[in-house]
Structure 1
C-alpha cells in the first residue's frame, strides 16, 4: 500500500477494506456482553437531560488530566471494557481503539480512555445510531500523532438481535496500514 505523507487521506481510499472489516465487527458487537451493557445503561440513563449529559462530559474531560479518575476508572473497570480491550489486543495492532455508546451517545465501555464521554454531538454517533441498523460511518484517514500511524474510525449501530432495534453505536479505530 502507498500512503500520502502529508495531510489527510480520505477514508474512501480504504472504503472496501473498511466495509469488509465492518462485517467482522458486526459479528462481535452482537455478543451478550455488549448488548446487555448497552441496554442496562440505556435504562439507567433514560431520564438524563442535555444538562446532565453536559455535566457528565465535563466531569470526564476534567478527569482525563486528573490524578484520580473515579468516573473513568468505573467505565474502564466494566466487563464490556475488558471485552473491548481483548478484541483490540487480539487484532495485533489493527484496532487502535474501540468504544461503545448508548442511545444518548454516552460511553458504555471502551478499550482505553477517550478524550470525552459524550459522543452524541459527533457524526460517528449521529450517522449510525439515528440512521438505522444497516448504517455505517467511515471517518477520514488521518495521521495519528501519538502512534505515527494512519487511522480511520469505523462506526456502526449496535443492534439488539432479539427485536432488531438499534440500541447504541460502536466506533472502532483502525490502523489502515495493517488492513488486508
Structure 2
C-alpha cells in the first residue's frame, strides 16, 4: 500500500511540475488586466469610437466572405507597396488620429491600438497592421463573438524588431445605448513598461 501511495504522490508531483510552465507564461495577465481597467476601459466608449464603428458596420453589413477576403488581399498588397489608398483611408481617418493620441499619451506602455468592426475589419489603427481582416484571429473571436464586456489577454511575445516583450489585450466594444456588441478593440501592451 505504501508503494501505491508513493507512486500516486510522485505522479501528482509530476503533474504539478508539468503544469507550472503554463502558469508562469500567464504572469502578465493580471498586470495587463489591471492596466486595461485603469487606463483603457475609461475611453473605449468614446463617442468617436462608437460612431465610427456604427458607420462602418452599416457600410460593411452586406459584405460576403469573398469580398472581405478581397479587401484583405488588397490591404496586404498595399502594405508591401508605395501605393496604399485603402490603408491611407483607415490610418488617415479621425479615429486613427484619436487612437494615435492615446498611444502617445501612454508614455510607451501602449505599442499599438486598432478598432475592429462587426465583420472583423479595421476601422482605425494607431500603427499600420499587416492585414485588414482580424476576423480570423482570437482578438476578434474571443471578444466581439463572446459578447459584452469581454477581455481577452493574449500570450506574451517578444517583438523581434524592438526586442520588447508585449501582449495584446482585446475588448468587446458595446453600444452604450443598447448594450449590444458593435466591435472590438485591440491594444498592444509593452510588458516591460508596466
Q: TM over 0.5, yes or no? A: yes
Task: Select the structure that is richer in helix.
Answer: 2
Q: C-alpha offsets along residues 60-102 of structure 1, whole Å, 9 cap, x if unaligned?
A: 0000010111110110111100000000011111000000000
1:22-171 equivalences in 2 (<5 Å): 22-23=36-37, 24-171=39-186
Q: 2:34 aligns with which of 10, 15, 20?
A: 20
Larger radius of gyration: 2
* Residue ranges of structure 1 left out of the alignment (5+ in a row): 1-7
**TM-score normalised by structure 2 residue count:** 0.86
Structure number with higher relative contact order (C-alpha < 8 Å, ≥ 6 residues apart): 1
In 2: Cα distance, 1:33 partner to 1:95 partner? 20
TM-aligned CA deviation for residue 9 of structure 1: 9.6
Q: TM-score w.r.t. structure 1 length? A: 0.92
For 1:3, the equivalent position in structure 2 comes to: none
- Residues 46 and 11 from structure 1, CA distance in 2 versus in 1: closer, same or farther, beyond 3 angstroms? farther
State the match for 2:192 in structure 1: 177
In the TM superposition, what is the alpha-carbon distance from 1:136 to its structure 2 partner?
Answer: 1.2
1:138 to 1:111, Cα distance in 2 relative to 1, 3 A:
same
Kindly report the root-mean-square deviation, in angstroms, between the aligned alpha carbons of the 2 structures: 1.4
Q: Which runs of 4+ in 1 moved over 4 A?
A: 8-11
Count, aligned residues: 172
- In structure 2, C-alpha distance between the alignment counterparts of 1:50 and 1:58, rounded to whole Å: 12
How much has 1:10 moved relative to structure 2?
6.4
Measure, in 1, the Cα distance between the counterparts of 2:147 and 2:40. 16
